[in-house]
Amino acid sequence: MPELPEVETVRRGLQPVMEGRVIAKVDVFRPDLRWPFPEAMAERLQGRTIRALRRRSKYILADLDSEETLIIHLGMSGRMQITQSAPAHENHPAPERQKHDHVVFHMLDGPQIAFNDARRFGAMDLAPTARLEQHWLIEKLGPEPLGNLFDETYLIDALKKKGAPIKTALLDQTVVAGLGNIYVCEVLFRTGISPKRKASNLSAARVATLVPAIRSVLEEAIESGGSSLQDHRQVDGDLGYFQHNFAVYDRSGDPCKSDCGAKITRVVQSGRSSFYCPKCQR
DNA sequence: CCATTAACCTGACAGC
DNA sequence: TGCTGTCAGGTTAATG
**Per the domain annotation, does A146 fall within a domain?**
no
In angstroms, the CA of A118 and the C1' of B14 are apart by 22
A270 touches strand B (CB under 7 A): yes
A272 in catalytic set: yes
Domain check: are A180 and A68 in the same one? no
In angstroms, the CA of A242 and the C1' of B1 are apart by 39
Domain check: are A99 and A185 in the same one? no
**Per the domain annotation, does A82 fall within a domain?**
yes
- Closest C1' nucleotide to A4's CA: C9
A2 in catalytic set: yes
A100 touches strand B (CB under 7 A): yes
In angstroms, the CA of A34 and the C1' of C13 are apart by 13
**Per the domain annotation, does A270 fall within a domain?**
yes
**Per the domain annotation, does A147 fall within a domain?**
no
Domain end residue (candidates: A134, A168, A201): A134
Number of domains present in the structure of chain A: 2
**Per the domain annotation, does A144 fall within a domain?**
no
Q: How far apart are CA A134 and CA A39, in angstroms?
A: 19
CB burial readout A69-89, b (16+ within 10 A) else e: bbbbbbbeebbbbbbbeeeee
Choosing from A3, A8, A68, A186, which is the catalytic residue?
Answer: A3
**Per the domain annotation, does A120 fall within a domain?**
yes
Question: The CATH number of the domain where A59 resides is what?
Answer: 3.20.190.10
Domain check: are A60 and A128 in the same one? yes
Domain ranges, residue A11 = 4-134
Domain check: are A158 and A109 in the same one? no
Domain check: are A67 and A99 in the same one? yes
Q: How far apart are CA A259 and CA A274, in angstroms?
A: 20
3-state class (DSSP) for residue A86: coil
Q: Is the entire prediction scored with pTM above 0.75?
A: yes
Domain check: are A40 and A114 in the same one? yes
Domain check: are A18 and A106 in the same one? yes
**Per the domain annotation, does A143 fall within a domain?**
no
Question: The CATH number of the domain where A264 resides is what?
Answer: 1.10.8.50
In angstroms, the CA of A253 and the C1' of C7 are apart by 17
- Per-residue pLDDT of chain A (282 residues), as tens digits, is 689 999 999 999 999 999 999 999 999 999 999 999 999 999 999 999 999 999 999 999 999 999 999 999 999 999 999 987 666 666 667 788 999 999 999 999 889 999 999 999 999 999 999 999 999 999 999 999 999 999 999 999 999 999 999 999 999 999 999 999 999 999 999 999 999 999 999 999 999 999 999 999 999 999 888 555 444 444 445 555 576 789 999 999 999 999 999 999 999 999 999 999 999 999
- Closest C1' nucleotide to A180's CA: C9
The H-or-E segment that residue A128 falls in is strand A123-128
